Amino acid sequence: MSAQTFRFIDGIDPVITDRDLHLHHADSPSADHAETLFLIFSVPEERISGNAYVLCRPNVGVCLGSVYVHQGIHANAWTADYCDAPMHLPCPDTMADFTLANGLSVQGSNGARDYRVRYEGRDGLCRFDLSFKGLMDPFDPLDPAQNPMLQSFGGDAEASTGAGDAWTKGHYDLVGRITGEMELYGKTYAVSCVDGLDRSWGPRAEWNAAPVSWMHMTFGDDLAFHLVITLDVVAGQPVYTTFRFGYAIVDGESCAVVAAEVEAESVGMLGMHRVVRLTDAKGRQWEMHGAAIAAAPWHTACSSFISFQSLYRWTMGSHVGFSNVTDVIGVTTLSRRLSRLGTA
């Protein structure tokens, strides 16, 4: 581990602020303590979906910085258009403003609401400069004032988030307008979409992540939805099981979601069609349909799980929008459900 000085904060603040852009839990002796940040974005008119993911392990001084971009639908990870994911970069001393050795940099501001995410690929094949402007204050699923579903699970953070212990020490989500420019294989694309960003801190064992879906259904700056729902694999297909938490943004006001269900049609593990029905805390009910225009298995966030990403064209009455769903499933779970020996 390098001799750098890490900037930590301790404890869990019930309100997300710029303090949460820094590292947490300085006293943790655990080598699997991790701090993550994930941004997903798209160029829908070109059927392009991309993401930037950072996982820091300050207790061992290393960091993963992943950039993944694909156009259209890919059954296999090796046909995706771009991937850069070194796993053992030097860990930055803060996540508020940093640049990694592979050319990925992030700056956060405005109460953890706004971000600038830039990338200059070492091979010259990909670069982007993106501005994320939050359409809401960060949503903390561990704060009962924001998430009424926490009490539905008896206040048990592990049960309520559905992600095992990975989000129990701290987590926030938000939806934002993402604008900027991306260059891919010599062609420049304008980026303007509404999608999600999250940040978490806590234990992240490199072992079989609990199956969970991170879902966004967005229809512009004034109408957007986010859900976290746990998953299973039944008869070779992903099945959505238990709604955990979520929110709606309606006319600039965010409101918790209190009930949701999802119907799924997939090819292999890649989502092709989704029907989402939800109810928010104001009693409003919504139903939306999604058809995939891009999809690929993303496998570089951690070697122990695969994220099956789909960019959907969403329709709800006269509303049309584009945003991403990421189904995260542990490799061991997939082996038990799908392998020759596991199904014998």
Residue whose token pair is 């701290």: 170
DSSP letter string, 220-286: STTEEEEEEEEEEEETTEEEEEEEEEEEEEETTEEEEEEEEEEEEEEETTEEEEEEEEEEETTS-EE
pLDDT(25) > 80: no
**Type and span of the H or E element at 338:** helix 331-338
Write down the pLDDT at residue 160: 74
pLDDT(8) > 90: no
> Region 174-185: what's the mean pLDDT?
98
> Region 265-284: what's the mean pLDDT?
97
Q: What is the rounded distance in angstroms from the CA atom of residue 40 to the CA atom of residue 247? A: 18
Which CATH superfamily includes the segment(s) 17-338? AttH-like domain (2.40.370.10)
Residues 6+ apart with CB under 8 A from 223: 249, 250, 251, 319, 321
- Phi, psi of 28, rounded to the nearest 5 degrees: -70, 125
Do residues 130 and 116 make contact, with C-beta atoms less than 8 angstroms apart?
Answer: yes
More confident residue, 258 or 202: 258
pTM of the model: 0.94
Percent of the chain with pLDDT over 90: 81
Do residues 203 and 32 make contact, with C-beta atoms less than 8 angstroms apart?
Answer: yes
pLDDT in tens, 297-328: 999 888 889 999 999 999 999 999 999 999 99
Do residues 300 and 85 make contact, with C-beta atoms less than 8 angstroms apart?
Answer: yes
Residue whose token pair is 């064209």: 313
pLDDT in tens, 201-256: 988 888 887 899 999 999 999 999 999 999 999 999 999 999 999 999 999 999 99
**2-14: string of b/e by CB count within 10 Å (b at 16+)?**
eeeebebbeebee
Q: What is the rounded distance in angstroms from the CA atom of residue 55 to the CA atom of residue 22? A: 13
Do residues 33 and 26 make contact, with C-beta atoms less than 8 angstroms apart?
Answer: no
Do residues 322 and 314 make contact, with C-beta atoms less than 8 angstroms apart?
Answer: yes
Q: Are strands 23-24 and 8-9 parallel, antiparallel or unpaired?
A: parallel
Q: What is the rounded distance in angstroms from the CA atom of residue 85 to the CA atom of residue 238? A: 26
pLDDT in tens, 114-132: 999 999 999 999 999 999 9
pLDDT in tens, 35-88: 999 999 999 999 999 999 999 999 899 999 999 999 999 999 999 999 999 999
- Phi, psi of 153, rounded to the nearest 5 degrees: -105, 25
Q: What is the rounded distance in angstroms from the CA atom of residue 288 to the CA atom of residue 309? A: 18
Residue whose token pair is 């512009």: 220
Q: Where are the domains of the chain?
A: 17-338
Q: In DSSP terms, which residues pair with 118 in a beta bridge?
A: 105, 129
Q: What is the rounded distance in angstroms from the CA atom of residue 292 to the CA atom of residue 133? A: 25
**178-214: string of b/e by CB count within 10 Å (b at 16+)?**
bebebbbeeeeeebebbbbbbbbbbbbeeebbbbbbb
**236-250: string of b/e by CB count within 10 Å (b at 16+)?**
eebebbebbbbbbbb
User: Among 40, 79, 38, 134, which Cα is nearest to 324's?
Assistant: 40
Do residues 70 and 81 make contact, with C-beta atoms less than 8 angstroms apart?
Answer: yes
